[in-house]
Amino acid sequence: MTQAELPPIVDVTVESFETEVVRRSMAVPVLVDFWATWCGPCKTLVPILEKVARELAGKLVLAKVDIDKNPEIAELFQIQSVPTVVLMKQGRPVDAFMGAQPEAAVRKLLEKHIPGAAPDPLGEAAKLEAAGKRDEAITLLARALHREGANAALRLALARMLLAAQRMDEAKSVFAALSGEALELPEAQAIAAQFAAMEKVGELAPLEAAAQAAPKDPAARIAYGKGLVAAGRYEQGLEELLTAAKLDLQFEGGAPRKAMIEVFNLLGQGEPLVLEFQRRLSMLLCV
């Protein structure tokens, strides 16, 4: 069996340590995760390590060591706290970190030791979008989601970018696969609100008339602003929402600000339009 065919994630015991860690590290780097069932940060870190290990299958092995069941291994590595992660190459430790680290930090460590280590698709997509290459970002996320269909963060990012690109049917299809806790995330709620607003695009003319008839009514401004956003006229929509905030920032529990944040989440934090209106909103909040 080749390295590519071997499982990328293994649970290691004292008996299997020599084979699964020492010997395998002679062929590929082995990331040894020292953890415990009672460790909260371990539960945060493990999914990140497992995700990266699966992406780098054949180039990296994740070896998980329960320190309570294998105190001899923990003692050998002088583990003082968990989680502690040690990278093994050629039978010896070459790098390590302690505590729950974000995915970007884990990848940065691995990139020093593994040529061609897969970059974070979310980070790469954000860079492409910020550079005005949204179509390339969409393609990158679609490929990543094909590999990781259960990754809610990838799915939300792709749905948001598709919406921003006015590819509504594709966005709906991607978003429809979300369920459970993922639907409670702010990004998901912003996208859901956009879909709901899209159903009312035909009402844009009366919304505009209502806003013109009552220019000092925050509710009319918010409704018109949301309608403009649903029609893809984001700058005009944000202007109307900002006007509503200027009229009454605390209207209905801060509805103008919340509506603007929904648009920010929809367009993405790297979008120049978002940065501009975040600046203008922050100036209003500081008054």
Q: How many domains does the chain have?
A: 3
Q: What is the value of pTM for the model shown?
A: 0.48
Residues 217 and 179 in one domain: no
Handedness of CA 176, 179, 182, 183 (dihedral sign): positive
Catalytic residue among 21, 28, 30, 39: 39
Same domain, 223 and 279: yes
Residues 156 and 246 both lie in one domain: no
24 and 61 in a single domain? The answer is: yes
Query: What are the backbone dihedrals phi and psi of residue 196, each rounded to the nearest 5 degrees, phi first?
Result: -65, -40
Query: Can you give the pLDDT at residue 2?
Result: 53
Domain that holds residue 178: 121-183
Same domain flag for 93 and 159? no
DSSP per residue, 84-98: EEEEEETTEEEEEEE
Does 105 map to a domain? Answer: yes
Q: Is 39 a catalytic residue?
A: yes
Tell me if 179 sits within 8 A of 155, measured CB to CB. Answer: no
Residue pair 93/86 in contact (Cβ under 8 Å)? The answer is: yes
For 17-63, the pLDDT digits (tens) are 999 999 999 999 999 999 999 999 999 999 989 988 988 888 899 99
> How confident is the model over 153-197, as pLDDT tens digits?
889 999 989 988 878 889 999 999 988 888 888 888 888 877 877
**Residue reference for tokens 């749905």:** 159
- Domain for residue 102, yes or no? yes
Angle of helix 186-198 relative to helix 168-175, nearest 10 degrees?
140
- Please identify which of the residues 42, 87, 229, 244 carries the catalytic annotation: 42
